[in-house]
Chains A and B, each alone.
Chain A
Amino acid sequence: MKIEEFRDFSIGDYHRLFKDKEISPLELVNLFLERIKEGEDKIHAFLFVNEEKAKDEAQKKAENLPDELLPLWGLPVAIKDNICTRGIPTTCGSKMLENFTPPYDATVVERLKKAGAIILGKTNMDEFAMGSSTQTSAFGPTYNPFDRRRVPGGSSGGSAASVCSLEAPFALGSDTGGSVRQPAAFCGVVGLRPTYGRISRYGVVSFASSLDQVGLITRKVEDAITLLEVVSGKDDKDSTCAPYPPFGRSEIPAPEEIRKLKVGVPREYFPSGLEKVIKTKIQEVLEKLKEEEIEIVEVSLPHTSYALESYYIVAAAEASSNLARYDGVVYGLRVEGENLQDMYFKTRTLGFGREVKKRIILGTYALSSGYYDEYYLKGMKVRTLVRQDFEEAFGKCDLLITPTTPSLPFFPEKKGRDPYEMYLNDMFTVPSAMAGLPSLSLNCGYDEGLPVGLQIIGRPFEEGKLLGLALFLEKLLALPSPFPLFKEDNNE
């Protein structure tokens, strides 16, 4: 079989092949490994390919095909490199953890394995998940599979690029302020950030604890549903994980129920800076929904413009504390110094990249005595207002539809150097993260070969409705899943 035959596959299709003995897990893993070999020098989505162990595991599975397949049985999965994998390096895209191999699996990884999945490799990311371009990785950037001159988005750029190019059928990412949805939008795939607390964070290297949430990157909405069923649910190792049972597909309303949902469109998400083509595409989708007799209402989220600023304060504050542990003492990089202070200084100077240092300094400042009230506390207050905005809007509708990003995949040359413009790219993904709401990005069309992302935002723990609408839209739009060819010619 050839990899391109899987272009529109979801998990069920692979399982049918397994059952019909048309392909074995080992053959499947080999096909993905080949695809990785073909694509990696062009897009650099992976930091580590788990070739041997993946083959061994696939071989074991190939020898023992059960009658009933576990939900992810025999399927390879790519994991963002800030999610701990036992015995497999977990670097967070940082020199600081270049040689760090965790002695434990993150809860999500444990659950993937238990569901029969095979770890294919670890994907590239912005250092410690700080960035929207996968340019800040200490191990080189990832390129957008649609156009290598452009960024794949970030910070889960490696995961999104690998799924887009079918180097992996699906992947895990993490989303703090949009790090799953924005790269999913830039790579034309599905990116789901569930409700804060839906999925355990244990083993996910903390960036901003009150915002970090594991996200799922898939080619089909259907696969996001399956993955969510597998990885969600209560975890005794994470106090912030909600004490609820795992998500179940029975929570998804039937198609006829979907038509009864009210969709809100927040006017603040269509500012003047929004790229025209994105606005057009979203409006086209809204029109189609209307044709399907789904009610569309305009709503307002008045504090949207303050969300981004306060996000960068709150996230940086938490990061400054979360990253204090990288001090060269117990694990990770250590650069010897003349004394303790000197060792700290050298280790952190060499271990962290510019973006990380910038945010640590920013966050340290925001928490300092005398500034705490003015910055951190105010940021938290804005956060409450943002949450209240959503609560009010959800009094008028069940779900919100917005663009995922204000721009199409951008050029690193253009945006990589202006931090504020870069931060603006998160303006539509940050507010729902601040409010802890489930949000999903879905490809809603192309403009000159570049994908446009549409975002659906739901009420807390109402992933059912969210995924229901996403399934409905996916069917309605009937776009082919991406399969970019790795061409040499578009690299300048």
Chain B
Amino acid sequence: MSDFTTTIGLEVHCQLLTQAKMFCHCSTDYIGKEPNTLVCPVCLGLPGSLPVLNQKVVELALRAALALHCQILPQGVFHRKNYFYPDLPKGYQISQYDLPIGVDGFLEFYSRGVKKKVRIKRVHIEEDAGKLIHEGVFLPPGTSGVDCNRCGIPLAEVVTEPELSSPEEARDCLMMLRNIVCYLGVSDGNMEEGSLRCDANISLSSSSLLGVKVEVKNMNSFRSVYRALSYEVERQRKLLEEGKPIFQETRHWDEVKGVTVSARGKEGAEDYRYFPDPDLLPFSIKGEMIEEIKSELPELPLQREERFMTEYELSQGEAEILVQDKEIADFFEDTLRDFNEPRMVCNWITTEVFKNLKELGIDISQASITPAHLAELLKMVDKKEISGTIAKSVLEEMFATGARAREVITRRGISFISDEKELENIVREVIEKNPQSVADYLSGKEKALQFLIGQVMKETRGQADPELTKSILIKVLSSEE
């Protein structure tokens, strides 16, 4: 089997978080709205209507470009990208061509615990197109329609150089990019809802030259980016090994079948006839604006990840999990303010808090628990007022009801049995009831001890201090010998 190098470049569209669309006053809040209810003459491209730039769009894109270390061009120009498609009411998309917002940046991220760097070719802004809808709720059978609610929603397109060397790296790079735009408040980065969209160019080669590139589209989650690109690597590898040609083409990822399917025959035939949009004036980006935005940039995910590693002595993996969601990372640090045990807090968040969020199907921002509440609970565990097991069930109730730890504990009548005398009585009862296990333990089966501890826990409904239980058990059992 020959050795192939994989080369991947990403083109990522992020929906910018503005209230109004890019060139009109229509709302961008299109999710769940009836088709064509967020439209006006401008975004519908009615005759005589003209676009007027929403300055917020430039500001947000500039923020992203600066966070990606791009060089900012002093003047931006909008170009028209001309093509016919029913979801494009004007017959052209207002985009940027040779004078984008930013060029020549880079993005750093961790992949498999190793720090990587990919160069960013450009960051530009453009308007979104509408959406084709087919028969269903809004349309009779056999018909299709256009929903223009999304027409004119501002997007930032980030293009990386083809420098990623595996599907895994591509996914990790995309995740970091998503985190960055979320941290910046530039986009909500939601792939499922389409506010973050990723296309990839991928080629395989056995020499130092790049192979024929294939564009992969329609990947709607980080997982599908990874799966689709892995599929492409295998598909292209097989073709190359069989000496068959690879066509330069666009392929669509089919999530259900787990394959990529050729979308168009000949690529390169498309001529978008770009030219500067005469309805819009070039916009200038002043040095002061750049400095101002730069000074307001928040701590970015990578910086934070590395700070967590040094400041809290977390592993890269732990830090990454926390940092991936800004709200979680904030929650983590807020909890530390009341209870400064980073590793313990990290463990509890990444296991128990995550588990509860997942079960409830909510984000941390929607949860009724606060960092102070979590700190309070963990302090009780730390002081051995309650056991970890109890704490887990208390946390569950805190999530469910919004009650604080003390309330739950008082209501349930829970207290930590750390009285040695009381516990010893229970231990003796358990030993009496389980002669077989005692025999097993005494004959050297360590496992039996765990069983006996479990029985004590059962008797006490989890209120026994596990460490204490263990030592008492060993003490009593050794006296049995």
Instruction: List residues of A whose CB falls within 8 A of some B CB.
Output: 82-84, 90, 92, 97, 100, 102-104, 106, 201-206, 208-210, 236-240, 317-318, 320-321, 323-325, 327, 329-331, 340, 344, 364, 367-369, 372, 376
Contact with A along B27-63 (1 / 0, CB 8 A): 0000000000000010011111111110000000000
Residues of B within 8 A of A205 (CB): 47-48
Give CA–CA (A440, B218) in the complex, Å. 56
Residues of A within 8 A of B278 (CB): 208-210, 240, 318
- Residues B89 and A330 in contact, CB atoms below 8 Å apart: yes
By beta carbon, the residue of chain B nearest A314 is: B278
Give CA–CA (A338, B198) in the complex, Å. 33
- Residues B271 and A239 in contact, CB atoms below 8 Å apart: no
Residues of A within 8 A of B280 (CB): 239-240
- Residues A340 and B91 in contact, CB atoms below 8 Å apart: no
Contacts known (A364-B273, A367-B275); A202 close to B50, Cβ less than 8 A: yes
Give CA–CA (A36, B168) in the complex, Å. 75
25 contacts between A and B (CB under 8 A): A90-B48, A92-B47, A103-B41, A203-B49, A205-B48, A206-B48, A209-B278, A236-B52, A237-B52, A239-B51, A239-B280, A240-B50, A240-B279, A321-B82, A321-B92, A325-B90, A325-B91, A330-B45, A330-B46, A367-B273, A367-B275, A368-B271, A369-B271, A372-B273, A372-B275
Q: Which 5 A-B pairs have the closest CB atoms?
A: A324-B91, A210-B278, A209-B278, A367-B273, A203-B48
Q: How far is the CB of B396 from chain A (nearest CB, A)?
A: 53
- Residues B90 and A324 in contact, CB atoms below 8 Å apart: yes
Give CA–CA (A106, B41) in the complex, Å. 11
- Residues B82 and A201 in contact, CB atoms below 8 Å apart: no
Main SS of the interface on chain A? loop
Q: Does B146 contact A (CB under 8 A)?
A: yes
Q: Does B395 contact A (CB under 8 A)?
A: no
Give CA–CA (A344, B83) in the complex, Å. 12
| Best-buried of A210, A330, A364, A376 by chain B (most CB within 10 Å) | A330
Residues of A within 8 A of B47 (CB): 84, 90, 92, 97, 100, 102, 205-206, 325
By beta carbon, the residue of chain B nearest A97 is: B47
Q: Does B84 contact A (CB under 8 A)?
A: yes
- Residues B44 and A330 in contact, CB atoms below 8 Å apart: yes
Give CA–CA (A176, B28) in the complex, Å. 35
Residues of B within 8 A of A202 (CB): 48-50
Residues of A within 8 A of B52 (CB): 236-239
Give CA–CA (A203, B41) in the complex, Å. 10
- Residues A106 and B48 in contact, CB atoms below 8 Å apart: yes
Residues of B within 8 A of A104 (CB): 41, 46, 49
* CB contact between B281 and one of A208, A236, A239, A320 (< 8 Å): that residue: A239
Contact with A along B255-288 (1 / 0, CB 8 A): 0000000000000000101110111110000000
* CB contact between A84 and one of B48, B86, B275 (< 8 Å): that residue: B48
Give CA–CA (A320, B92) in the complex, Å. 11
Q: How far is the CB of A212 from chain B (nearest CB, A)?
A: 9
Contact with A along B62-85 (1 / 0, CB 8 A): 000000000000000000101010
Q: How far is the CB of A325 from chain B (nearest CB, A)?
A: 5
Extra 19 A-B pairs, beta carbons < 8 Å, given A90-B47, A344-B84: A92-B47, A102-B48, A104-B41, A238-B50, A240-B279, A240-B280, A321-B82, A324-B92, A325-B45, A325-B47, A327-B84, A327-B86, A330-B45, A330-B89, A330-B148, A367-B273, A367-B274, A367-B275, A369-B271
